[in-house]
Amino acid sequence: MDKAIIIQNLVKDFPGTRALSGVSFSVEKGSIHGFLGPNGAGKSTTMRIITGLMPSTSGEVTVDGRIGFLAENPPLYLNMTVRDYLQFVLEIHSQNFKPIYKIDSAIEKCGLGSVEKRLIGNLSKGFKQRVGIAQTLVHNPEIIILDEPTVGLDPKALVEIRNLILSLRGDHTVLLSSHQLNEVSLLCSHISIINSGEIIKSGPLKEMRKTFKGQQVIEITVDRWDPSIDQKLIKQFDLAKVEWDNEADQPLLRLYSRSTNDIRPELARFMLDNERHLYGIQQVETNLEDMFNQMTR
C-alpha cells in the first residue's frame, strides 16, 4: 500500500470529555506529515492510539510497518549513559522480533558520538531530545512518530532538531505534531489540521496553499474607527469576517472575503455611499498563518 498509516473515524471518550470525535486521515509513505493543532486539540491522544499505547473508543487504525515513537515528555532514564539507554531500548524491542542492530547508526545520525558515554541527565535539553529521537531509530522502524519534538528548545537546538527531522526523510515516514504552523510548513510535505477533536483539513501542503489562494484578504484604511459598519460589510460582500487592526497608525480594516471576485471597486462605492473617506485599499497576500487562525478559532 502507498499509505503508511490510515486512520478511520477514530473516537476517544475520556470520562466527561470526547477528545476525538471521528478523526480520519492518512499518511503517505515517505512523507513528513505535520499534525497541526492548538493545545488540547487531540494530537497526543491520536498518536497514543496509533502507537497502541492507548485503546480508542471506536474507529480503526491501519499501520504498515514498525513504529518508533517519541512521546511528548520523553521518558528518558537520566542515570543511564546515552549508549546504554539506546541498548536498553533495543533490548525491549528485541522481545518482539529480532531487530537489525542500529545503535551505531542512530548515534551517528543524531550527532551523539561525542556524548555517548555521558549520563543523559547531564545533557542539555537539545541533546536530550536527540537521544529521544535516536531512541525511535534503534530498531530501524519504517515509521517515526514525534509528539511535539521541538517544544521548549532554545533557538540553536531548535534548528538542529528540525534539520535532524528533515534528515529522516527518505528512510522513514514521519508523523510529527506541532502547534506551530511555521514549523510544519518548514518541515512537512503534507499536513492534517486538527481542532477540538476534529480534522479540519488534510492533504499535501502545496494543494492547501493553492485552495487558500482562492480567498482574498483586503485591507482598507479609513478616516475613523467605526465598527458599526462591520455587519453591513459582512452582509453586502458575503465576508467570512472583518477585523480592525488595533496596531495600525491609521484606522485599518481587514476584510476576509469568501469569494474570488475582486470586490475592490464595489467596496470603494460602498464607502462613498456610507459617507466614509477611504484612504487606501489593497489586496493582501493570504498566508497559511491566516488560514490556520481562521480554521481554529
Ligand X SMILES: Nc1ncnc2c1ncn2[C@@H]1O[C@H](COP(=O)(O)OP(=O)(O)O)[C@@H](O)[C@H]1O
CA-closest candidate to residue 191, choices 288, 69, 53: 288
Report, in Å, the least distance between residue 227 CB and ligand X. 33
Residue 31 found at the interface with ligand X (CB under 6 A): no
CA-closest candidate to residue 34, choices 150, 142, 140, 197: 150
When the beta carbons of 21 and 81 are compared against ligand X, the nearer one is 21
- For Mg ion, the binding residues (CB under 5 A) are 43-44, 72
Report, in Å, the least distance between residue 240 CB and Mg ion. 29
Q: How far apart are CA 23 and CA 200, in angstroms?
A: 10
Residue 14 interacts with which of Mg ion, ligand X, none, CB < 5 to 8 Å by class: ligand X
When the beta carbons of 179 and 241 are compared against ligand X, the nearer one is 179
Label the pairing between strands 252-257 and 58-63. unpaired
When the beta carbons of 29 and 179 are compared against ligand X, the nearer one is 179
Report, in Å, the least distance between residue 148 CB and ligand X. 7
**What are the cell numbers at 86?**
539506546
Q: Which stretch binds ligand X (CB under 6 A): 11-19, 73-81, 213-221, 243-251?
A: 11-19
Three-point CA angle 119, 120, 121, nearest 5°? 90
- Residues paired with residue 255 on neighbouring β-strands, in sequence order: 218, 242
214 in Cβ contact with 260 (< 8 Å): yes
Residue 39 found at the interface with ligand X (CB under 6 A): yes
Within the chain, residue ranges assigned H as helices are: 43-50, 82-94, 103-109, 125-137, 155-167, 181-187, 205-213, 230-237, 264-273, 288-296
Residue 70 interacts with which of Mg ion, ligand X, none, CB < 5 to 8 Å by class: none
When the beta carbons of 45 and 135 are compared against ligand X, the nearer one is 45
41-80 positions binding ligand X, by CB under 6 A: 41-45
Binding site for ligand X (CB under 6 A): 14, 17, 19, 37, 39-45
